[in-house]
Amino acid sequence: MPSTVPPALPDRVPVAACPLCGGREFTPVCRAAAHAVVRCAGCQLHLLNPQPSDAELVEIYHPHYSFFGAEPGAEACVSRVKQATAAHYLNLLAAAGVSGGSLLEIGCGDGDFLLQASRRNFPATGIDYSPHSCAKAQAKLGAAARIICGEISAVADRRESYDLCVACDVIEHVRQPADFLQTLHGLLRPNGRLFIVTPDLDSLAAKLLRSRWPEFKAEHMYYYTPRTLRRQLAQAGFTDIRLLGGTKMLSVDYVTRHFITYPVSGLTPVLRLLRALLPASWGQYPWLIPAGGMIALARKPGPVGH
């Protein structure tokens, strides 16, 4: 039988009701870094319950979080891959008819997506919770983009100010995904577009690795499938929802660093060996590959008849 909300450890944040269907019964599934992953009995959304405390999240999001620690070459490796992936995402947006207009990126990190967007003449704004990342992003972009340090509430009053909102690998980190999407809906102009990337619980990697799936992390509070993400977007008022496989530009060096940070027995040693055997230029070259995630493109409806 499904259980109710598990008892919270001190300072951890229990989720009383599912943000997708309002259900209050949850079935334990596995553990992610000492946190319980549960499944909503009503809609099958997976989530951490209880969620990490704010103090735990501060420890997780350390200054080197975005590039797997302070190992030499890590920052350059991650920036190279993220900019290649950003160019790929912008190509997908252009193919969908989105090639200009004011852009807001939530969770802009060190500014790699914004850098590529600015080169395609998007008037761009980025927001991130990390002061360290914001400083690096502003230094990287200069006058090409405005960087705001804080949570999304810092821009919530800018209603209908943007033609495109981008949130790559963000929604799984937020405590209140329904409120998060409602805020993005309000920030978009009528007929504005939303671009989201998030891990896919239905992906082949998730099914093969099961409880060892590296996306099960303490900082990932929600785990979507195409069905649950589509429902969450529709409930926030978005239409014309298109879901694509989560392809990214990844290098052997990047993937190896990821699995060193989030080890998987049997796989991490093989990747270490492969990286050691390959010439450095081959190991650093980014390839377009499936990445165990999904991409969602959606629209805020415009006035009736337009």
Q: Answer for the pair 199, 168: CB distance below 8 angstroms, yes or no.
A: no
Question: Which of these three, 35, 53, 71, is where a domain ends?
Answer: 53
Question: Which of these three, 16, 37, 53, is where a domain ends?
Answer: 53
pLDDT digits (tens, 9 = 90+) for 101-117: 999 999 999 999 999 99
pLDDT > 90? residue 76 = no
pLDDT digits (tens, 9 = 90+) for 131-150: 989 999 999 999 999 999 99
pLDDT, residue 90, reads 97
What average pLDDT does the structure give for the chain?
91
* 158 within a domain of the structure (yes/no): yes
Q: Answer for the pair 246, 200: CB distance below 8 angstroms, yes or no.
A: yes
pLDDT, residue 7, reads 56
| Residue, of 58 and 43, whose pLDDT is higher | 43
Residues 152 and 70 in one domain: yes
Residues 36 and 76 in one domain: no
% of the chain residues with pLDDT over 90: 71
Residues 47 and 141 in one domain: no
6 — pLDDT class (breaks 50, 70, 90): low
* 181 within a domain of the structure (yes/no): yes
C-alpha to C-alpha distance for 48 and 5, rounded to whole angstroms: 11
Mean pLDDT value across residues 231-242:
98
Mean pLDDT value across residues 55-63:
86
**Which residue type occupies 83?**
Q
pLDDT, residue 268, reads 87
**Region of residue 237 (left: phi > 0; alpha: psi -120 to 50; beta: else):** left
The total of other beta-carbon atoms located within 10 Å of residue 298's CB is: 26
Residues 45 and 151 in one domain: no
* 89 within a domain of the structure (yes/no): yes
8 — pLDDT class (breaks 50, 70, 90): low
Name the domain count of the chain: 2
C-alpha to C-alpha distance for 74 and 61, rounded to whole angstroms: 16
pLDDT, residue 3, reads 62
Name, of 56-60, 154-158, 296-300, the range with top average pLDDT: 296-300
Pick from 124, 194, 133, 185: nearest CA to 160: 185
pLDDT, residue 291, reads 85
- Give DSSP secondary structure letters for 145-196: EEEEES-GGGGTT-TT-EEEEEEET-GGG-S-HHHHHHHHHHHEEEEEEEEE
pLDDT, residue 5, reads 56
Mean pLDDT value across residues 19-40:
94
Token pair belonging to 261: 């940070």
Q: Which residue has the tokens 């069905």?
A: 227
Q: Give the angle subtended at the CA of 185 by the CAs of 179 and 188, to the nearest 5°.
A: 145
Residues 182 and 152 in one domain: yes
Q: Do you find a cis peptide bond into 50, omega within 30 degrees of 0?
A: yes
**Region of residue 111 (left: phi > 0; alpha: psi -120 to 50; beta: else):** left
Residues 2 and 127 in one domain: no
Residues 20 and 142 in one domain: no
Residue 73: give its domain's CATH number: 3.40.50.150
| Packed helices 112-119 and 74-95: angle between N→C axes, nearest 10 degrees | 50
17 — pLDDT class (breaks 50, 70, 90): very high
Token pair belonging to 86: 């950003």
- Residues of the domain holding 76: 61-299
% of the chain residues with pLDDT over 70: 94
Residues 251 and 146 in one domain: yes
Question: Which of these three, 19, 35, 53, is where a domain ends?
Answer: 53
66 — pLDDT class (breaks 50, 70, 90): low
- State whether residue 85 is helix, strand or coil: helix
pLDDT > 60? residue 305 = no
Q: Give 32's strand partners.
A: 35
Residues recorded for the chain: 306
pTM here is 0.91
pLDDT, residue 199, reads 97
Residues 109 and 216 in one domain: yes
Residues 261 and 148 in one domain: yes
80 — pLDDT class (breaks 50, 70, 90): very high
Lowest-confidence segment of 178-182, 257-261, 295-299 by average pLDDT: 257-261
Residues 1 and 68 in one domain: no
pLDDT > 60? residue 233 = yes
Q: Answer for the pair 190, 303: CB distance below 8 angstroms, yes or no.
A: yes
Consecutive H or E run containing 140: helix 131-141
pLDDT > 90? residue 237 = yes
Residues 46 and 94 in one domain: no
* 304 within a domain of the structure (yes/no): no
* 306 within a domain of the structure (yes/no): no
Token pair belonging to 64: 């080197």
**Which residue type occupies 110?**
D
Spell out the residues 6+ positions from residue 217 whose beta carbon is closer than 8 angstroms to its own. Answer: 32, 33, 262
C-alpha to C-alpha distance for 192 and 164, rounded to whole angstroms: 6
